[in-house]
Chains A and B, each alone.
Chain A
Amino acid sequence: MATSWVHRRDLLKWFGAGSAALVLGRVNPAGAQVSSQAAGPLPAFTGPEANPYWNGVNPFVTYPQKLPLLRLTDRGIQLETPRQYFDRAFTPNPAFYVRYHLELIPNSVDLGTWRLHLEGNFDKPMQLSFEDLVRNFPAVSIAAVNQCSGNSRSRFQPRVSGGQWGNGAMGNALWTGVRLADLLRNAGAKPGTVQFQFQGLERGLGPAGKGSQAFLKSLDVNDPVLNEAVVAYLMNGEPLPMLNGFPLRLVVPGIFSTYWIKHLTWIRALTQEDKNFWMDPAYRIPDTPKGNTTPADVAAGKVHFIPIGRVNMPVRSFVITPDGSGKLPVGLPVVVQGIAFSGDGPVTKVEVSADDGKTWALASLGEDHGPYSFRTWQYTWTPRAPGKYLLAVRATDAKGHVQSDEGVWNPGGYLWNTVERQDVIVGSTS
């Protein structure tokens, strides 16, 4: 019994994230996952150092229409997708992450009375039923990544308050619905329109006019993304799960999901810039390269902030397997694989390193589902000696952006896209 206990402790030490930090002498941002052999739970929280795990450390919970997901908060609801569901280009609906801001979200929607309202500064304000949208407008489909602005916020140093996401506040789906531009053309925005505002059935208990009462997002009338945007009634060919925005969701390809309004019910043509809390001061980024700044510059009032919708999502890539949960026998090929994406056009190149980023090799890319989709990649690596290896992955997009080791810091915890790493142990076979 005593021997067995020592063995278990050795294994825990060998596989645990703590040992990774000790051996490497630094905290490794996307380091070792705790092994499947560990018998105890992850800690209840991480910090003040960066979260070393791929996902956040939150527990699995079950929600309607969902597989067990990782609970950040339960009222409003924020659920993270576990790493293992990113081994493919399209994220299954029951595993797709959930991020609400407010408490009152629908449990039940009557499509007999629900209408999409186009109101405000339009020539022909409209109320469209679900059936109108499906039957009277051409259907289009687009594969697009939906990523929370704060995805990977738990990597920030120093840590910032907010949803402590690991990497799983993202998902890719094939969205099918009506072009937003078709709706806007039919309603006809009148001269003087400066923005279109979007609102869904999500609301809160706070006083009118405050961010705690309504969640509203607006896009500029001349934003080219309006021509790419879709109001989607299907997600991966199925009705949207309630928690992902049934019956209709705004899809804004390349842009962070704060604009992808769930349960979309109102589109308003505005004659004045939207200054509600969710446009200003919330969801703002420093107007600097990569949105990077320092706590000191923010405190000194030196930073000019802009809405996060002004930028496309920066290029990212992730190692999904191997995930560090088992030792790899030396001499056997290991298929290192994962996903990559960019809000700036297609991913053009994915490179993998097995030596902590000293040397890089080209990964092969999987099927192309369009510029806004996850792109799967894989690279076969054969370790030739036992020991500890640091796998790293970096992607390059069509605009030439390439991921680097340089971290990002801003007070909102947005725009993280640093090179991801996974440490793996290679064992001997003799």
Chain B
Amino acid sequence: MAIGELVPGVAAGRLSPDKYAENFSDLHAPLDAHEALVAADRCYFCYDAPCVTACPTDIDIPLFIRQIATGTVDAAGITIFSQNILGGMCARVCPTETLCEQTCVREVAEGKPVQIGQLQRFATDHLMAQNAHPFNRAADTGRRVAVVGAGPAGLACAHRLAMHGHRVVVYDGNAKAGGLNEYGIASYKTVDSFAEREVSWLLEIGGITIESDKKLGGDLNLAELTDRFDAVFLAIGLAGVNALGASGQGKAGVRDAVDFIAELRQAESYAQVSIGRDVVVIGGGMTAVDAAVQAKLLGALNVTLVYRRSRARMNASRFEQDLAAAKGVRIITNAAPVEISGNAAVESISFEYMDDDLTPMGEIFTLRADQVLTAIGQTLGATDLPSLTRGRIAVSQDGRTSVANVWAGGDCTGLGDDLTVTAVAQGRDAAEDIHRALGA
């Protein structure tokens, strides 16, 4: 039985099964065939199209949309996947409003871009539904590459290496492959176990072995990997989290938003996931918004997202901010946490207003809270790595690290935005560079 939203404290089973199902349904219902044709007709087939320039993986967007419009949807899918093998997930999670769709000339002209993300999903879903992997593996080269981390960068790298005929072993510290796609993205963006299905589909290329529950610094060390393999690609993501820096952070009810989302994503049913009645989320990125929105969807009565700078500085896109607001999340900006109060468990949290340069304004306010989720940035949280820069693995544009035969990509490097699509691009490009190096 649903206990409802009013029960105080951190509790599971607040909502009815129907309500959970409704709340966690697909954020954007997929386009049907008619909608896709109508949307595709709006594309102008621009010359040297701005949307392609804006895409980190350089998908030929006008071409795939024209292929949809002319009734060859699988060809459209191949156009996408040949640049971005995780084009299905990117169609769901890319902040298109700040990438391709922001630069669409129809956004410029009418404020209504071509629905590139939705069309990409239409094409990729269509091709993936054929249950036949669209790419063939080249003849076996006998070369072996270790990929550490089965997230977007690692998978993209592994797939491209496998296409070139290399044998790839992908290690991952978690039980399932997929990385943030599997553990770190809001549930309503990837319904019906899409992340898991996508990994299975990707592995159909052949030549890739996944070894789970193996971590660098644990079962693996870099020197041993470089000995055993012809090349190593590090895509270990960011395993550590930043400390809050407010007193009382050890109290019960304070937890890391990444863990919260991972628990939610892996739960057998939403009713098993506990959520507070008065939830405060601290942070301004996608993780903060994903946590805040999902807290609300799990039945929290009050969810407040607090960010230390202004809205314009939030890493979460405007669309994500509006989504949070539409779901009933209150957003407070220019406030940093000072103290978490309560006996054993958190009861309230106080904040101090800050200006955009993070200068305290001397004014304190307190929010009632029985749960505090922190999403204030992640760190490498690993040792035994090549040289770092600004706390991330230092790499060249091709992903080469300070260690010979070791490449890196994705969030663990400081190269580019922390986006799925960026990670895919880096994994793919590193694979091409590894392929060149192995051929030499």
Q: Do A and B come from one complex?
A: no
